Structure 1
Amino acid sequence: MAKTIYIRLRHRIQSAPEGWIRLGDLAQIIDSEEESSLSRLNVYHVTPNDRSIAVVDVMHIIKLLRAAEPDAEIQTIGPSQTVVEIVSRKKKRKLVYFIAVWLLLFVGAAMAIINFHEDVSMQAVHQKLYFMLTGKEAEKPLLLQIPYSIGLGLGMILFFNHVFKKRINEEPSPLEVEMFKYQMDLDQYVAMNENKESVKKLHEH
């Protein structure tokens, strides 16, 4: 009875700048052996020419498996390519960059909120609401402005579903969903446009 090997490629993985990527890193493997040696099979060699992204196609993996297990039947499940993100471990986040990005986002968000409030005349709205509730006119109705400001901050926390690094609940925030969609579209674009170059490079190896 022929041996059957089941392969399920991972959608995206990370790798060091140089060295070999093994089959166990790229895919989940199931065969008749309890401890399969196929997971240690070298599949792709990362070189400086790969820069930041490489694409490994399932056809190349099938060729390697046929060479390693000529009599085995190979069944593939899931995606047909794996996007390899090449991450340099030498690069560390610097406090200066973090502070610069934080200030940029803080100032940008503050300007967006201020411009929105100016466009809709939020101060005039608060003055009218204060007059309707109390019957008195006030240039700065702090009774409404202070709770509104606190509520605005709490609303942003609930919207992004994070307090610093802590998640409020398991539900993803709208920003995380949009980032996930963007990452999926980016991976699909990379797989379609770099697949030819990656396959050519794999044949050279």
Structure 2
Amino acid sequence: MAKTVYIRLRHRIQTAPETSLVLADLAQVIDSEEDSSLKKLDVYKVSASDRNMVVVDVMHVIKVIKRTEPDAEIQSIGPTQTVVEIVYEKKKRKLIYLILVWMLLFVGAAMAIINFHEDVSMQAVHQKLYFMLTGDRIEKPLLLQIPYSIGLGLGMILFFNHVFKKRINEEPSPLEVEMFKYQMDLDQYVAMNENKESVKKLHDH
């Protein structure tokens, strides 16, 4: 009786250049044999021509398995492609670049907040609120402005759900959700455009 092999390709993996990817790297495998050699089967060799990303299609994986186990019945579950990101050794960034980027982001964020408050006349709003609460008219209602400034910073920390590298709770922040959506769209684009198994050009003869 032919054995059944269940494979589920991983959605995305990261690997170093010039790496030989085995089946266990690319997919979860369930085989009738406890110590199956299929998991150690070479499926794809990362080369310099692959540059940053390459897509491994499930049809290629099945072909490789069939060469070793021609009588096996292969059941594919889940994604039909694995996006392989090739991670090269990162160069150490100089401290001056980090400081310049930090200053650029800090000044840009500060200008955005200042311009927003100017557009909505926040100082005038605080003055009116202070008058309604105390009955006194003053130019700089620090009693409202200082707590408001502190609350603005705390609100941003709660919104992004991070204090430096520490997460406040397990709930993802809106920024993380947007980055996840972007990554999913990017992977789908790469899978559709870089997959040599599924992209085929027909030429008129």
After TM superposition, list the pairs within 5 Å mapping 1:1-205 onto structure 2: 1-196=1-196
1:182–1:7 CA distance, 2 compared to 1 (3 A) = same
Tell me if the contact between 1:10 and 1:82 (Cα under 8 Å) persists in the aligned partners: yes
Counterpart Cα distance in 1 of 2:52 and 2:197: 14
1:175–1:21 CA distance, 2 compared to 1 (3 A) = same
Deviations 1:39-63 (Å, cap 9, x if unpaired)? 2111111111111111110000000
Percent of aligned pairs with the same residue?
Answer: 82
1:198–1:84 CA distance, 2 compared to 1 (3 A) = farther
2:167 counterpart letter in structure 1: R
TM-score (norm 1): 0.92
1:168–1:67 CA distance, 2 compared to 1 (3 A) = same
1:150–1:79 CA distance, 2 compared to 1 (3 A) = same
Counterpart Cα distance in 1 of 2:21 and 2:92: 23
**Unpaired runs of 5+ in structure 2?**
201-205
Counterpart Cα distance in 2 of 1:192 and 1:121: 49
Q: CA deviation at 1:96?
A: 3.6
Counterpart Cα distance in 1 of 2:97 and 2:5: 47
Q: Determine helix, strand or coil for the equivalent of 1:54.
A: strand
Q: Which has the higher helix share?
A: 1
Counterpart Cα distance in 1 of 2:183 and 2:170: 20
TM-score (norm 2): 0.92
1:62–1:94 CA distance, 2 compared to 1 (3 A) = farther
Counterpart Cα distance in 2 of 1:96 and 1:42: 44
Q: Determine helix, strand or coil for the equivalent of 1:56.
A: strand
Tell me if the contact between 1:8 and 1:79 (Cα under 8 Å) persists in the aligned partners: yes
Q: Determine helix, strand or coil for the equivalent of 1:13.
A: strand
Counterpart Cα distance in 2 of 1:199 and 1:31: 31
Deviates more, 1:39-48 or 1:84-93: 84-93
Counterpart Cα distance in 1 of 2:56 and 2:68: 18
RMSD: 1.7
Equivalent pairs counted in the alignment come to: 200
1:61–1:197 CA distance, 2 compared to 1 (3 A) = closer
